[in-house]
Structure 1
Amino acid sequence: MSTTTDVGQGVDGALLAEVRGRLVRSGGVPSTEHVMQVVRECGAVLGSRALADLVAVVRAELLGAGPLQGLLEEPDVTDVLVNGPRDVWVERAGRLEQVDVDLGTAEQVRTLAVRLAAAGGQRLDDASPVVDARLPDGSRLHAVLPPVGGACTLLSLRVLRRRAFTLADLLASGGVAPALEPVLRGLVASRANVLISGATGTGKTTLLATLLSLVPADERIVCIEEAGELEPDHPHVVRLLARRANVEGVGEVGLPDLVRHALRMRPDRIVLGECRGAEVREVLTALNTGHEGGWATVHANTAADVPARLEALAALAGMGRESVAAQASSALDAVLHLRRDGGRRRLAEIGVVRRGGAGELVVVPALTVRGAGEAAGVAGTEGAGRAAGPGAEVDVGPGWELLAARVGLADPQVAG
């Protein structure tokens, strides 16, 4: 039985299954000597090469991510999803595909999930059947045990890629339209306060890390996160990571606390990896007290939905709609919205944050990337007249003049 498409070739499947089963039942960390002892107990007679291969396969299965480890190490894999022992999927280049991986039995999938959760410092059992954890290599684990997850344990692994992308990389891939480059650079240089919005898996963290790499080297960036995913190419970055309560229910350090602590750490830029709860109150307060150049990400379906999302999150901190509108319109300058089209992640819209005629919080469209054809470049910039990316063009909205003035573009016009 093959554990991945290339692991375990040449190893007797029946023997592998028996050795693996005995080791799982015995518990503990399977050392090389322990595996060899179990092989002998199974009555197998192997040459030195065959024995070494079997030991390597068994240890690969029972340590790290087991039979999933090879998938996690593939450079183009971003997510590994397990729905059952022989129902494994990966995301490559923005597209899901099923892979030929055999995880054995449902019990072995559960054992793998429990071990991975423990490696991330979390408990996963019948009393706590759902877990989010950060693994030692930085990957994110989400696991759900039966019956909450149906008949089999469900695993979702988000791979952390340590590579720092440059803005040139995103331009070359079509993730950012060339006409938007001077605007993005201007947002960083002018120390605007910006939200990056989008659905799950649209590349919010990647874009944020890329833009933080443009921050001048003499500035201090304080990143506040739950999972420690941000890896900007910058010489002065410090990280504050939230911590959940332990099994006794103590020791929690939440994002709202970390935002308050970050203010005492002499930050030039405060960055919140993901705004997902009551910490929105602390972030808005910080950005309204002279802290410029702040960045955060938030889940939203469209840029126009960001105000409603902020209101919902702020309600968790006891803030009313009027208070959110007043603070957010004062604290935030722009929203960058990401979309996923046909497996490709791209920056789809830039809007400015303002209050509407009735005092409500709104995001006014400034630049929208859409359609096929040539982009309307921003006059007076290197992007003028060039394609906005593969099959895309840029529309100018009513918020463009406000945005151009904020980022310091000399000529707030769009070339036809």
Structure 2
Amino acid sequence: MSLLNRIKDKNPQTVQEIHKQQPRPQDQQQNSSGRTVVVQEGQKKFNQKSSEQTEKQNKYRELKRILHNQILQELKETDDIDAIIPKIDEMAIDIIKENDQFKGSIDRKKVVEEIMNDLTGFGPINPLLLDEDVSEVMVNGPNQVYCERKGRLELTNISFRDNEHVLHVIEKIVAPIGRRIDESSPMVDARLPDGSRVNAIIPPLALNGPTITIRKFAKDPFVIDDLIHFKTLTQEMATFLDACVKARLNIFVSGGTGSGKTTTLNVLSNFIPNDERIVTIEDAAELQLGQEHVVSLESRPPNIEGKGGISIRDLVRNSLRMRPDRVVIGEVRGAEALDMLQAMNTGHDGSLATGHSNSPRDMIARLETMVLFAGVELPVKAIREQIAGAIDVIIQQSRLKDGTRKIVKITEVQGLEGDIIVLQDIFTFVQEGIKENGKIAGRLVPTGVRPKFYDQLENSGITIPPNVFINEGEWEA
């Protein structure tokens, strides 16, 4: 019995003949006044080409469906995917040989590649995840996939079969880490095996269909030299931040979505000495620390009964009982801000964290608001005293209009004067215009102010050359 006949026997709903349906060519037609209107040859060719493309797409989908069904049948018999993978190309060749409609019009290699991506990768978006130039992948339903390549958004020619195909990929991402997504829990944060961040949201909340956003991370984590090469910061700024981390100052990285906060936090953590115990706390584990003594904690959403959830705040409290030398919080977005500030003010120096804001001053205001989420009725002045005593440095990062990511401010929190928290910029980005290629022209420069904690650095045995804080010339961004 032939392979195609076996498929038909196992799956009665297999091959349906695809018939050409081309309208009978009409070279002439009559208009309302009786005059003859000649149909333009270009329009006829366009219609014919469109019909041929539709027919080819239908054949392509049919071949892929038949091949997929055959693989499912083989899996029922062997239950060993590794044994089937080498046979997939041979299966496709046999199907094409036994069915004339597939001969000469189907790219077999493309069909096999997509099937392989479904089985061993993450479906149609797998090539984007493997492309090192792509930093972000955005699936807006089954028919629209965007990617960010070198800081620019691009519409790709990738598509899924339907909503179920997108849901299958989401399930494949979230299942291994114990997360779930369904109508009762239609949003999920997850991660890929390489640490890339994933967010998914499905109907009825997502009107365009299941939506996936993947923030990729480099295979080899960036180091400070990479950020200098990308012109995210200068060598002087790197020297200053290195000293701040080693002197156990509390540092907060703020910025908008996609500005590179997590990457900068990861780079800063590389300055932590290898003999210290580090506890990281995240919603979805993303940080890739190179030290030997690292304990990674990850929050957990509640189960289907609404129980068992562990929040970032719970993990922050627990981390203080784990004898940490450093506490690194992936993102502060709620009531955990109060516990973080208390930890920083009670001997846990050298902590690192990130948060969303448009400027260092906005970050201070957001922290005040987040402390109030804890439900503790504290006067505003008491909250500001906590912030001023806890945080030493705020690093503001931005994604500029040309797609580049830069540290636009490094700001010292100098203390509280009256009811106002005093901030002083140490380094800043000065924009000078836009170049012909659309890139933003500007300079990253010191403001000339030496931070108040400079003596603290020297007492820690860390010396920063005074010229780091002096603008001796232009540095082209």
Higher helix share: 2
Distance 1:24 1:122, change over 3 A: farther
Contact 2:251/2:352 (CA < 8 Å) preserved in 1?
yes
Q: Distance in 1 between matches of 2:199 and 2:247?
A: 38
Partner residue of 1:118 out of 151, 172, 175: 175
Distance 2:445 2:98 in 1: 66
Which of these residues, 297, 301, 310, is aligned with residue 253 of structure 1? 310
Query: In structure 1, what is the equivalent of residue 279 of structure 2?
Result: 222
For structure 1, which segment, 360-369 or 91-100, has the greater mean C-alpha deviation from structure 2 after superposition?
Answer: 360-369
Partner in structure 1 of residue 445 of structure 2:
394
Q: Which has the higher mean CA deviation after the structures are superposed, 142-151 or 201-210?
A: 142-151
Contact map agreement 2:71 2:84 (CA 8 A) in 1: no
Q: Is structure 2 residue 260 aligned with structure 1 residue 200?
A: no
Residue 406 of structure 2 corresponds to 346
Distance 1:190 1:302, change over 3 A: same
The gaps in structure 2 that reach 5 residues or longer are: 1-58, 100-106, 434-439, 459-463, 473-477
CA separation in 1, counterparts of 2:223 and 2:128?
25
Does the aligned pair in 2 maintain the 1:370–1:395 contact within 8 Å?
A: no
Query: For residue 131 of structure 1, what is the aligned residue in structure 2?
Result: 188
Match of 1:6 in 2: none
Percent sequence identity over matched residues? 34
Sort the Cα spacing of 1:120 and 1:266 in 2 relative to 1 into closer, same or farther, 3 A.
Answer: closer
Superposition CA RMSD, Å? 3.3
Q: 2:387 aligns with which of 322, 328, 347?
A: 328
Counterpart of 1:337 in structure 2 is: 396
Deviations 1:254-288 (A, max 9, x none): 21222222222222111111111111111111111
Going from structure 1 to structure 2, the CA distance change for 1:255 and 1:215 (only over 3 Å counts) comes to: same
Written as runs of structure 1 = structure 2, the 5 A alignment for 1:1-400 is 13-19=60-66, 22=69, 31=81, 33=84, 45=97, 57-319=114-376, 320=378, 321-341=380-400, 342-372=402-432, 391-396=442-447, 400=450
2:233–2:444 CA contact under 8 A, matched in 1: no
C-alpha contact (below 8 Å) 1:368/1:397 kept by paired residues: no
- One-letter amino acid of the structure 2 residue matched with residue 332 of structure 1: I
Q: Calculate the TM-score normalised by the size of structure 1.
A: 0.82
Q: Is the 8 A contact 1:120 1:136 kept in 2?
A: no
Q: Tell me the alpha carbon deviations over residues 213-235 of structure 1, each in whole angstroms, 9 at most, x when there is no partner.
A: 11222222111112111112223
The answer on whether the counterparts of 2:64 and 2:115 sit within 8 Å (CA) in structure 1 is no
Larger Rg: 2
The CA distance in 1 between the partners of 2:228 and 2:234, in whole Å, is 6
User: Any unmatched runs of 5+ in structure 1?
Assistant: 1-11, 374-388
For the 8 Å contact 1:177–1:369, the answer to whether it is kept is: no
**Which amino acid in the other structure matches residue 360 of structure 1?**
I
**Equivalent residue number for residue 379 of structure 1:** none
TM-score, normalized by length of structure 2?
Answer: 0.72
Structure-1 separation of matches of 2:161 and 2:223: 41
Instruction: Output one character per residue of 1:181-210: Cα deviation in whole Å (capped at 9) or x when no partner.
Output: 221121012110110111111111111111
AA at the equivalent of 1:219: E
Paired position in structure 2 for 1:382: none
What is the CA-CA distance between 1:334 and the residue it aligns to? Answer: 0.8
Deviations 1:109-163 (A, max 9, x none): 2333344333442222222222222334433222222232113221111223342
Alignment partners' CA distance in 2, 1:52 and 1:326: 65
Query: C-alpha separation between the residues in 2 aligned to 1:189 and 1:266?
Result: 19
Pick 1 or 2: higher relative contact order, CA cutoff 8 A, min separation 6.
1
User: 1:22-62 CA distances to partner (integer Å, 9 max, x unpaired)?
Assistant: 589999999465997xx79x965469xx9998555324224
Distance in 2 between residues matched to 1:262 and 1:129, nearest whole Å: 30
SS at match of 2:413: strand
Equivalent residue letter for 2:410: I
Q: Distance in 2 between matches of 1:314 and 1:405?
A: 31
Distance change in 2, residues 1:201/1:53 (3 Å) = closer
